[in-house]
Amino acid sequence: MFYFSALLFIFAKILIFYLEKFMYSLSASKKDRIYKDLLKIAIPTAIEFFLFNFISLTDNAMVSYLGDYPVAGVSLANKFFELFVTIGFAMVGAYNIIATRQYNQGDFKSFKNTFFISILTIILFSFPFILISRVNPFFLLRLISNDVQAVYYGAIYLNIAIFSFVFAIIKGLVANALKVVEIVKFQVYISIFSVLLNLILNYIFIFVFHMGVVGAAIATTVIRTLELIIYLIYTVFNKNSILNLKLNDLNINVKLFVQLIKFFIPILLNDFIWFFGYLVLTSIFIGIDTHRYAAYSISFSVYFIIFNIINSFCISLNIMMGYEMHNSKKEVMKVAIYLGKIGFKLAFLTSFVLFVFSFFAPYIFYTLKYSHLIGIILRYSSVSAFFMALAFQYLFGFFRAGASPSFGAIMEGSVTFVYTIPIAFVLANYTNLPFEIIVFIPALEDAIKLAISLPYFYSERWIKSIKTSW
């Protein structure tokens, strides 16, 4: 599996070398500037994302001592956190399309208004989920699992943790806005503080006060609340911050709102289709065996912590490409090809790290019934991660920066409903394949997405000019 990824990496290197040398060549000085700017944003972002996900992994690690059903229950509840992250990520994508152009042009009044509108929109989207989670959390969880014990633990966790979900995505929007204005170290400092405090609070609430999954939910909610308060003090209520909002900034420019929603809807549709597919896969996998699913949920958490190598790169790529959109298509493509070259290396690195870590993960989560399965799933994931890393760069990094999110939504829907869900259903219900194979084959959807993305990328049709102020 790993050697297959290596062969693909070599082929990609040859292709990019040809394109860079004969079609889209950047000057040495601009390469140096782009590389330095990339590192300036990407390294702190990678640390921040790693620490953000480490909080969830800490919860899973401590809850794993309570047994498989609490792990499965918390994992089910966290599917709705992932839904909130999906909504927040969609808003980040829409916000960056507009805000990077506004910031690069020095239009700070419109920049602040875009910031305010994005936060307000997220709050409005969150309200129905808060209401349902507080009134009847069992309703949501029964949509994805019929396991009574797993749903029970998940409902207990969700009833409290729902507030932490909302606070986390609002904080994420503020943290992203700071990246757009090239402030990146602050987020790392807050993340370190959060991880340390989360370890302490989780241990106290779960093991000292013997509160189980309730303790984990309380600890996470306290952490997310403190994070948001600190971020708001540093930005919205800080007179020296470019993100400081005064009363006259708290208005909605209708045309700007429409432009933001115009990008938000296809991005949300893209991300929601992915999330819906993920929920369906979760329902299929947990239906096979709850104990095996517990191992899968842990491996998935580990997967996304390591995938932060690519996630942070794509956030940085998205912001940097937004700065370039005032240039000609030829110049934009030169920068994109150069960043793509770096992206291929990082895709290989992500695959390699997953492969190596797969041999250690089972020993960390040894209390699970199928702890050995975590390592096996991660080894298969080292292959699918290579394709996902490459596809993600184009869909999130390039196409969204170029104001072309609709392409991703159409492709995501096509692949998810034609390939991913049907193949998973058939494998789970009509074959006797091992659990890890049933998980792996649907994950190869990203190889299809990559194959579809490449022709569109080189056509240059994804690079579009837009209006960002009125």
pTM of the model: 0.82
With a cut of 70, say whether residue 13 has pLDDT above it: no
pLDDT for residue 365: 82
470 belongs to a structural domain: no
DSSP secondary structure letters along 209-230: S--HHHHHHHHHHHHHHHHHHH
469 belongs to a structural domain: no
What's the average model confidence in pLDDT over 271-282?
88
pLDDT for residue 22: 47
List, for residues 314-368, the tens digit of each pLDDT value.
889 999 999 999 889 999 999 999 999 899 999 999 999 999 989 988 888 887 7
- Give the range among 39-43, 49-53, 176-180, 448-452 with minimum mean pLDDT: 49-53
Total domains in the chain come to 1
159 belongs to a structural domain: yes
pLDDT for residue 418: 96
With a cut of 90, say whether residue 380 has pLDDT above it: yes
- The number of angstroms, rounded, from the C-alpha of 346 to the middle of its chain's C-alpha atoms is 16
259 belongs to a structural domain: yes
404 belongs to a structural domain: yes
List, for residues 279-311, the tens digit of each pLDDT value.
899 889 988 888 888 888 888 878 877 887 888
280, two tokens:
């369906």
With a cut of 80, say whether residue 17 has pLDDT above it: no
- Measured from the Cβ of residue 452, the count of other Cβ atoms closer than 10 Å reads 17
Per the model's pLDDT, the better-predicted residue between 364 and 25 turns out to be 364
Instruction: Report helix, strand or coil for 411.
Output: helix
pLDDT for residue 24: 62
Among 202, 171, 200, 198, smallest CA distance to 187 is for 171
Mean pLDDT of all residues belonging to the chain: 88
Among 235, 183, 326, 439, smallest CA distance to 431 is for 439
Q: What is the CA radius of gyration of the chain?
A: 22
Q: Are 307 and 385 in contact (CB under 8 A)?
A: yes
348 belongs to a structural domain: yes
Where does the pLDDT of residue 83 fall: very low under 50, low under 70, confident under 90, or very high at 90 and above? confident
466 belongs to a structural domain: no
Amino acid at 467: K
Domain of 73, in residue numbers? 2-459
Give the integer Cα–Cα distance in Å for 287 and 264. Answer: 34
Instruction: Report helix, strand or coil for 358.
Output: coil
Q: Are 338 and 20 in contact (CB under 8 A)?
A: yes
Where does the pLDDT of residue 39 fall: very low under 50, low under 70, confident under 90, or very high at 90 and above? confident
pLDDT for residue 300: 81
Number of H helices, E strands in the chain: 19, 0
List, for residues 226-253, the tens digit of each pLDDT value.
999 999 999 999 999 999 998 888 888 9
pLDDT for residue 96: 94
464 belongs to a structural domain: no
Among 306, 307, 303, 389, smallest CA distance to 343 is for 389
DSSP secondary structure letters along 397-408: IIIHHTT-HHHH
243: DSSP letter? T
What's the average model confidence in pLDDT over 209-225?
92
